[in-house]
């Protein structure tokens, strides 16, 4: 009988502790929310070594300050820069992204944003196509001179 009482008390205590943990993880109704104008930037077809800088504009549509703790590109060719100060409710800001356009061909990369928003992780996308680098050819300056050459684009 004593064992049954002890077992019941332990079980009740475990259930009660579990309920408290569930209450602590309830979502904050006032939490910040990050709302992007667009979650994808399409560069289209761009020239080799063109300006690869773009920006994702967003608004904090929540009721508390938004804090972006990290932004990470899916590879070293995609470099994000984000606001380091809190973004007040209703305030607009942007995450700047620079893609390395010395890499030719199609690309589809992601930037993962981590914040204190209701949805703490957001994945943004960039895509496009970088044209091939212009070809250079060697043309002799004086065909009779032999070794002198001029590069022409």
Domains and CATH numbers, the chain: 34-130 (2.60.40.10)
Q: What is the pLDDT of residue 87?
A: 98
* Nearest residue to 152 via CA among 132, 136, 130, 134: 136
pLDDT band (50, 70, 90) for residue 140: low
Residue scoring higher pLDDT (67 or 138) = 67
Distance, CA of 81 to CA of 106 (rounded, Å): 23
Per mean pLDDT, which range of 20-24, 45-49, 94-98, 140-144 is the poorest?
A: 20-24
Distance, CA of 132 to CA of 104 (rounded, Å): 5
pTM here is 0.72
Residue scoring higher pLDDT (123 or 26) = 123
Q: What is the pLDDT of residue 83?
A: 98
For the cut 80, the answer to whether the pLDDT of residue 7 exceeds it is: no
For the cut 80, the answer to whether the pLDDT of residue 82 exceeds it is: yes
Distance, CA of 66 to CA of 34 (rounded, Å): 8
Q: What average pLDDT score do residues 2-25 get?
A: 51
pLDDT band (50, 70, 90) for residue 6: very low
Judged by DSSP in three states, 43 sits in strand
C-alpha of 104 from chain center: 21
């Amino acid at each position: 009988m004593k064992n049954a009482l002890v077992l019941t008390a332990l079980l009740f205590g475990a259930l009660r502790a579990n309920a408290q943990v569930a209450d602590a993880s309830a979502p904050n109704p006032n939490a910040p929310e990050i709302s992007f104008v667009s979650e994808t930037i399409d560069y289209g077809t761009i020239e080799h070594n063109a300006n690869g800088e773009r920006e994702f504009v967003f608004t904090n549509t929540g009721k508390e300050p938004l804090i972006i703790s990290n932004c990470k590109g899916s590879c070293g060719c995609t470099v994000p820069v984000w606001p380091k100060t809190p973004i007040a409710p209703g305030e607009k800001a942007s995450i700047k992204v620079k893609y390395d356009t010395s890499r030719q061909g199609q690309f589809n990369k992601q930037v993962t944003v981590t914040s204190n928003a209701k949805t703490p992780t957001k994945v943004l996308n960039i895509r496009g196509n970088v044209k091939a680098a212009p070809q250079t050819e060697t043309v002799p300056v004086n065909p009779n001179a032999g070794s002198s050459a001029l590069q022409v684009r």
